[in-house]
Amino acid sequence: MDFLAELLIAALIVFGGVFGLVGSYGLAKLPDLMTRLHGPTKATTLGVGSVLMASMVFILWDKGTLSVHELLVTIFLLLTAPITANFIAKSFLHRQANPETDLPPTGTECGWASFDVPPDSDDDEPNSLTIPRRNKG
């Protein structure tokens, strides 16, 4: 039993480590910001996920109690990772993308929210903190 538990924990840690490594490698290797975003949002979730599972198995085997902190960490990770990625993507669009040439059309009457105002708003600025764009003023 001890051997089996150790084998499982070791396998999970190695599996997680490999994915963490691949995620970091992707971050360094991929050519631009938008593609780089894919590395940390994907490969890292499984990497961290399996290390957390290894931790749960270890505590269950070592102390005989079920630890739920790891589940919480997983939930918070799944909640926050997409929001961080969205914030980074939006600031990238603000600073470096030209909505007319770089982005596909929205298919509706309005433009993308980073560049256009909602239809029922009186505000002329898309955002009160509008940063001057590199491509157009």
Partner 1 sequence: MIARLLPHPVLTATLVLVWLMLLNSLSLGGLLLGLILGVTVPLLTAAFWPERPRIRHPLKIIAYVLLVLWDIFVANIQIAYVVVFKTNKQLRSHFITIPLEIYSPEAITMLAGTITMTPGTVSSDLSADGRSLLVHCLDTDDPQGQVDGIKARYEARLKEIFE
| Contact positions vs partner 1 (CB under 8 A) | 19, 22-23, 25-26, 29-31, 34-35, 37-39, 41-43, 45-46, 67-69, 71-72, 78-79, 81-83, 85-86, 89-90, 92-93, 102-114, 116-119, 126
Q: Are 19 and 49 in contact (CB under 8 A)?
A: no
CB of 35 to partner 1, least distance (A): 5
Q: Are 10 and 35 in contact (CB under 8 A)?
A: no
Torsion of CA 105, 107, 112, 117, to 10 degrees: 130
Kindly tell me which of 38 and 133 has the beta carbon lying closer to partner 1: 38
Kindly tell me which of 35 and 135 has the beta carbon lying closer to partner 1: 35
CB of 12 to partner 1, least distance (A): 13
Pair of tokens at residue 23: 């995620």
Kindly tell me which of 2 and 123 has the beta carbon lying closer to partner 1: 123
Q: In whole angstroms, give the CA distance from residue 71 to residue 77.
A: 10
Kindly tell me which of 3 and 31 has the beta carbon lying closer to partner 1: 31
Q: Are 53 and 12 in contact (CB under 8 A)?
A: yes
CB of 85 to partner 1, least distance (A): 5
Closest among 85, 21, 27 to 48, alpha carbons compared: 21
DSSP state of 120: T
Kindly tell me which of 9 and 97 has the beta carbon lying closer to partner 1: 97
CB of 46 to partner 1, least distance (A): 4
